[in-house]
Chain A
Amino acid sequence: MNGIGGPAYLLEGIRYAYPGAADGFVFELDSLRIEPGSALALVGPNGAGKTTLLMLLALLARPAAGRVAFFGRDAWEPGTNEHPIIRRDAVLVTHHPYLFKGTVGDNLAFGLRVRGVPEPEWADRMREALALVELPGWEKRQAAGLSAGQAQRIALARALALRPKALLLDEPTANIEAGLGLRIEAVIGESVREAGTTIVFSTHNFSQASRLAGKILYLEEGKIASPGRFW
């Protein structure tokens, strides 16, 4: 589903300075365009800037210079980011996800609650999301003490339940063993095809990148490794 309406993301002239990095490391991006409903893989060594780019796309990090347009709207135009909250349509799942205290259900409900989704809908959404990550019926389990893989799947379910326009995943199957990992990949892929979600994910796994993504971006030291514009 390409080219219907404008791009999902259009980044131009981005310069981002890492907080606390003295002179330091800077992330630069000339231009990046991501079509709605497409899947983009970010590949590169640790510290190359994959997580930074995901944060920028999640509208959680603000660039020092440049423009981030999300579905046609300038994300950092004064007043845009909080009201209405456009970053609700871009959900990030971090590499080592943090689960809130309480039950799995409480975690899944969080995003629904802050968006004001009516409570009667919650049960269905949560069931659906947990089924996708193969943890059905886990609503009442305590979120504490889960394995890294389980936590990662819960975090993914948490994001899927929100049906965002853009899904940003930092190493989504890093802690999940091979067979299950492939099935989770399939779920992610489904979400692109069926719902038209725009997906950007980072990975160390080249085959995963080719399997899932329509395009691959190579990052090195805060820059795109392939020079010039990347469409």
Chain B
Amino acid sequence: MILHDLFLAIWISFKTSGLAALVASLLAVPAALHLAGNEFRGKKAVLVVNQTWMAAPTVVIGLLFYFALGRSGPLGGLGLLYTQAAMTIGQIFLILPLIVGFSYTALRQVDRRARLTALALGATRHQASRVVLREARFPLVVAVLAGFGRAVSEVGIAMMLGGNIRGATRNITTSIALETAKGEFTNGVILGAVLLVITLGINALVISGLRSRE
């Protein structure tokens, strides 16, 4: 396997999954903040839905968006299928509940007095929310990393929505699938090792980050 292809695949993995983690976090953290700070009817239902959503298989998500984004689907006019954008969109959908769940837990653990203290010292509601986020910054970073880890190691969505096009939508995981199907086991192993290093590294950060909460 050409070294150039290897680096391209790694770059594409980081780019698509990184963007997915970023966008998903921008949506998930405010949602988690709202959930953590408020009680309302149906809150339990929301949490249950989030939990269930987390269990969605990647191929099912891939299938769903395949039909939605394909030319004959409702969003077909955008021509997104088999592009990096499609991969990112699918992965956002995958990791959103994960980040919401982790962030919610992190924010619940922030002392309730933090917000009140901020307000008592003259913060606006927004400033007070920022204080709460800052007090939980380590576990929140951990949550985002966990989301990224999940996205970068999945293959169902990347394959179905990306099409495994060399240099465009062929990332680490789809490369592994391809090389293995071609019988090029050496290449598959090399890619697998790279992915393992990345995900184990992230996992180590996540676990040590969670531990240091105590």
Contact = CB atoms under 8 A, between A and B. Distances in A.
Interface of A: 58, 60, 82, 85, 87-88, 91-94, 96-98, 100-101, 110-111, 114-115, 158-159, 162
Nearest to B131: A100
Given A82-B124, A85-B124, A114-B127, A98 B119 contact: no
9 contacts: A91-B122, A94-B113, A96-B113, A98-B114, A100-B131, A100-B134, A110-B131, A114-B122, A158-B121
B120 A60 contact: yes
If over half of A's interface residues share one DSSP class (helix, strand or loop), that class is named, otherwise mixed; here it is loop
A28 to B, nearest CB: 23
A87 B122 contact: yes
Contacts of B113: 94, 96-98
A100 B130 CA distance: 12
Contacts of A88: 122
B120 A85 contact: no
A94 B122 contact: no
B135 A111 contact: no
Contacts of B122: 85, 87-88, 91, 111, 114-115, 162
B36 interface: no
Given A94-B113, A101-B135, A58 B124 contact: no
Contacts, number: 52
B121 A97 contact: no
Nearest to B126: A82
Interface of B: 111, 113-114, 116-125, 127, 131, 134-135
A114 B128 CA distance: 10
Contact of B121 (A82, A96, A101, A159): A159
Given A85-B124, A101-B135, A110 B118 contact: yes
B121 A114 contact: yes
A62 B73 CA distance: 51
Nearest to B111: A98
Contacts of B131: 100, 110
Interface-centre pick from B117, B125, B135 (highest chain A CB count, 10 A): B117
Contacts of B117: 94, 97-98, 100
Contacts of B134: 100-101
B126 to A, nearest CB: 9
Nearest to A111: B121
A111 B134 CA distance: 15
Contacts of B123: 110, 114
B120 A92 contact: yes
